Amino acid sequence: MPTPSKNTPVTQATVGQTYEDLFAPWVKAMGLVDLQVGVGIASARLPQSPDLQWASGSICSQALMSAIDTVASLV
């Protein structure tokens, strides 16, 4: 049986520390902000950044999917 982590369950009070503890530096470099969690729901905002954009100004889909995967794993 897995040992419970200090990071579970993720609550609004612990989401910031959980994010800092669990994710790789390159994930955190995306700059997700406004992390929100609740029962069965999680959200965050991915600010527009030149590091995540194509020359056209659109956000790279790989960055979007990384952000979605990161936030979904908090639920």
The confidence score (pLDDT) of residue 8 equals: 78
The confidence score (pLDDT) of residue 75 equals: 87
Percent of the chain with pLDDT over 90: 84
Dihedral, CA of residue 2, residue 42, residue 69 and residue 22, to nearest 10: -50
The residue-averaged pLDDT of 23-50 equals 95
**Burial grade of 23 (CB within 10 A; 0-12, 13-18, 19 or more):** middle
Domains of the chain, by residue range, sit at 15-72
Q: pTM for the full model? A: 0.82
